[in-house]
Amino acid sequence: MHRVSGLAQMRDWAPALEAADAVIHLAARVHVMTDSEPDPLAAYRNVNCEATLGLAREAAGRGVGRFLFLSTIKVNGEQTPGRPFTESDPAAPADPYSASKWEAEKGLAEIAAATPFKVIMVRPPLVYGPLVKGNFLKLMRLVEQRVPLPLRSVRNLRSFIYVGNLVSVLEKLLTAELPRASTFLVSDDHDLSTPALLREIGAAMGVKTTLLPCPPRLLLAAGRLIGRQEEVRRMIESLRADCSRFKEDLQWSPPFSPTHGIADTVAWFQGRSHARRLHNGRIVA
Active site residues per annotation:
97
Pairing outcome for strands 22-25 and 66-70:
parallel
CA dist., res. 246 & res. 184, Å (int) = 6
67: exposed, middle or buried (Cβ count in 10 Å: 0-12, 13-18, 19+): buried
Please state, in angstroms and rounded to a whole number, the distance separating the CA atoms of residues 285 and 108: 55
The residues near 10 (Cβ < 8 Å, ≥ 6 apart) are 2, 51, 54, 55
Rounded-to-integer distance, Cα 224 and Cα 145, Å = 25
d(CA 131, CA 128): 8
In 3D space, the residue among 35, 62, 46 whose CA is nearest the CA of residue 6 turns out to be: 46
Query: Burial of 122 by CB count in 10 Å (0-12 exposed, 13-18 middle, 19+ buried)?
Result: buried
The SS3 assignment for 128 reads strand
Cβ pair 41, 144 in contact under 8 A: no
Q: Which residues contact 270 (CB under 8 A, 6 or more apart)?
A: 144, 205
Tell how far CA 203 is from the center of its chain.
23
Could you tell me which residues come within 8 angstroms of residue 15 by beta carbon, excluding any fewer than 6 positions away?
none
